Homo-oligomer: A and B are copies of this chain.
Amino acid sequence: MSDGSDLARGERHMRVVQLGVGSVGEVIARTLAAEPDVTEVVLADVDEGRVQEVAAKLPGGKASPRRLDARDPEALRETLRGAQLAVNALVPAFNIPVMEACLEVGVSYLDLAAGGPREIVGTPDMDEQFALDGAFRERGISALLFCGIDPGASDVFARALYDEMDTVERLIVYDGDNGWAEGYEFATSFSPAIMIEESLLLPPERFEDGRFLLSEPLTLSTEFDFPEPVGRLRVWHIDHEEPALMARFLADKGLRLATFYIALPDPWVELLRSWKRLGFAHKDEIEFAGCRFRPFDLLVSRLPRPVDLIGKLHGSVCVGTLAEGTVDGQRVRRFMYQVTSHDEAFARMGVQGTGLQTGIPAACGALMVLRGELPGPGVFAPEQLDPGTFLRLMTEHGAPWS
């Protein structure tokens, strides 16, 4: 990697490959393309129409639209060749294949979320990604994993709070959306398939007193007072990346609890609990009426996709991390968070709040990779970033935090 001073002067060609140009991919691509030191953004997606649509929104000359089926390893390598960074906004099933392609062609890597566990959802989990650390070091390139809003900014918040406190016993991420969608009974603000996996299929994991504990999906809930305008919402413990990441990187000041809660609307909880009671909490096929299908796919087919909700979602989403511990012997309880309004996100980039709120931190992480602001080559979590730099970039790019 060249250092930041070179880049800032625009002395070399800086090409980023944006893999996947859904809502989040679009926000990342547009945010990066607006940076003077980013000279080219390759927009790669299986949907060529969508690629052209996003390309038209990038500053003149910076977009390189490209149809790519990421399941084709050779096409993937070909797309990455000559770039400095691959931003993976595909589903987590592609994390390992894209990391491997990056290693082969020598391109740094960033993604947004972990998959797995392999035995339940069939996709690689975070350990498989961290296991590539040695290979990335040897190749002299970097990978920044799980760097959206949550995981991502939530982990940086945890790190920032960790740094300013003497002891940190509890780290709890809260994700709360008070939004509602015109004309839809259910509105998941990101992929319904991922949402079903996270909240129904996976037993949520938390770190408690030195051990990782699993619980039954949709059994642990409480209420949490999010900052206005979000307000008080019922939140549910679901499976997420942060407990494992915070326990891995932020346990040295007496951490006793690391967990994750998300606000789920009652109809969604009722739906998933009912689906489970029908015996459908799995991704297997069933036989019915002379045909075979996955109830999982049937359910997904009945839910709106995020793209269906664009412009129809109102309200705001808050993601934050609560740290409890001590400073100078005094007990403290600090909540660091980011709030995005769905309506403002739509006005600003034509996306809903979660798309903007996820894409901006990803772009900030991408800039840190591009500018050589990671600790070095290797595979990193957001907890390992310099929180000051990351948080400053978030504010500069319109995702202010408190």
By a beta-carbon cutoff of 8 Å, the part of chain A in contact with chain B is 185-186, 267, 270-271, 273-275, 277-280, 288-294, 297-299, 301-302
Contacts and interface: CB of A to CB of B under 8 A. Distances in A.
B274 A302 contact: no
B299 A278 contact: yes
Contacts of A274: 267, 270-271, 274-275
14 contacts: A267-B273, A267-B274, A270-B273, A271-B277, A274-B274, A274-B275, A278-B299, A279-B302, A288-B293, A289-B291, A289-B293, A289-B294, A289-B298, A291-B293
A199 to B, nearest CB: 14
A98 B384 CA distance: 77
Nearest to A298: B288
Contacts of A267: 273-274, 277
Contact of A291 (B271, B291, B301): B291
A270 B289 CA distance: 25
Contacts of A277: 185-186, 267, 271
Contacts of A185: 277
A278 B186 CA distance: 9
A278 B271 contact: yes
Nearest to A277: B185
The interface residues of chain A, by DSSP majority, are classed as: mixed
Given A288-B301, A289-B297, 5 more contacts: A185-B277, A186-B277, A267-B273, A267-B274, A270-B273
Copies of this chain present: 2
A301 B290 CA distance: 13
A345 to B, nearest CB: 25
A35 to B, nearest CB: 43
A292 B275 CA distance: 20
Contacts of A294: 289
A205 B289 CA distance: 33
Nearest to A290: B291
Nearest to A279: B302
A279 to B, nearest CB: 6
A297 B288 CA distance: 9
Nearest to A289: B293
Q: Closest 10 A-B residue pairs measured CB to CB?
A: A291-B291, A289-B293, A185-B277, A270-B270, A271-B274, A278-B302, A274-B274, A270-B274, A288-B298, A267-B277
Contacts of A275: 274
Contacts of A271: 270, 274, 277-278
A131 to B, nearest CB: 36
Nearest to A270: B270
A173 B257 CA distance: 52
Contacts of A297: 289
A290 B270 CA distance: 28
Nearest to A303: B278
A306 to B, nearest CB: 18
Nearest to A266: B270
